[in-house]
A and B are shown apart, each in its own frame.
Chain A
Amino acid sequence: MATETQTELTYRPNVDICDRGAEVLIVADVPGATPDAIDVSFDDGVLSVHAPVPARTLPGRSLRQEYGIGAYRRSFKLGEGFDASLISAECRRGVLEIHVPRLAAVRPRKIAVRTA
């Protein structure tokens, strides 16, 4: 759904989220976004994504427009326990992958059960 900020029209990208224990993986569909201009930030437990998309440049007379052109913007409240310094992101083929590692101290670990 489109929302309009004061300066640009934005859209919420579709996302898939996977909790892998040691990290949380967020995969967002951002077709048309310029990878170099994507901004991923983490502040106070909230991961924010802003991916600008260049304006529509189809030649000639428009016959059909089924998708809007605007920046992708979405935020995720992850909470505490994440290592912001190790967050990594990669954008390929219009898909943005963000790896958010958990702090070592809070990562789930298996506890061996000793028998008497």
Chain B
Amino acid sequence: MSLIPFRTKRATGMEPGSLATLADFRNEMNRLFEGFFSRPLQTPSWFETVEPGRWLPAIDMSETDRQICVRAELPGIEPKDVDVSVSEDRLVIAGEKKCEKEESGEGWTHRESHSGSFSRAIPLPEAVDPAKVTARYDKGVLTVELTKSPTSTSRKVPVLAGSP
């Protein structure tokens, strides 16, 4: 006789709804850590390059049939201190958030914001036309709009039904 009232899987089986409950728990844990792990954590994706010691601005990226749009959170930056460069398959956002004289003095008891130089090379899903790129900075967010190259080899492949 077992001293521990431990129910085995064989005894209870997988009750209906238990998988949904597990999914709910997983989703709740994902939501709990969303704000923390959604940021780059100074660790780029495998296809990005970053120099050691630099911080990475967080980005959003989306695409339409004609455009790719990238937004980067860059609070406290002077537009002239941001350098945006584009090649056919890569967007590079680099610059420096300068620490003002009074910010480098004494009295700062708490520091959480990033400062200093930053550089992030972002691979693009399709080729773009480097001559048709716009960038604007508003309320601490840099928005870069890139026009896809007309010679892009990417195309939609229709999915046919049935066997070949």
Contact check, A93 vs B77: say whether CB atoms are below 8 A apart: yes
Contact check, B73 vs A95: say whether CB atoms are below 8 A apart: no
Return B62 CB to nearest CB of chain A, in Å: 4
Contact check, A2 vs B31: say whether CB atoms are below 8 A apart: yes
| A-B pairs with beta carbons under 8 A, tally | 117
Contact check, B38 vs A65: say whether CB atoms are below 8 A apart: yes
Query: Which of A4, A16, A56, A64 contacts B113, CB < 8 Å?
Result: A16
Stretch at the interface among B2-10, B64-72, B127-135, B149-157: B64-72
B137 CB contacts on chain A under 8 angstroms: 93
| Cα-based distance from A38 to B114 in the complex (angstroms) | 22
The size of the chain B interface, using a CB distance under 8 A, is 40
Query: Which of A11, A19, A34 contacts B139, CB < 8 Å?
Result: A34
Contact check, B38 vs A18: say whether CB atoms are below 8 A apart: no
Contact check, A2 vs B34: say whether CB atoms are below 8 A apart: yes
Interface residues of A in 63-115 (CB under 8 A from B): 63-68, 93-95
Determine the residue in chain B with the shortest Cβ distance to A4.
Answer: B31
Query: Which of A18, A31, A32, A60 contacts B108, CB < 8 Å?
Result: A18
- Tell me if B74 is interfacial: C-beta within 8 Å of chain A: yes
B114 CB contacts on chain A under 8 angstroms: 14
Contact check, B112 vs A31: say whether CB atoms are below 8 A apart: no
A27 CB contacts on chain B under 8 angstroms: 103, 113
Query: Which of A1, A62, A94 contacts B140, CB < 8 Å?
Result: A94
Residue numbers of A with Cβ under 8 A of B are: 1-2, 4, 11, 14-21, 27, 29-35, 56, 58-68, 93-95
With A1-B35, A59-B62 known, 13 other A-B pairs at CB within 8 A are A2-B35, A16-B108, A16-B110, A31-B140, A58-B60, A58-B69, A60-B62, A60-B64, A66-B38, A66-B59, A93-B78, A93-B137, A94-B140
Residue numbers of B with Cβ under 8 A of A are: 31, 33-36, 38-40, 58-65, 67-69, 71, 73-78, 103, 107-114, 125, 137, 139-141
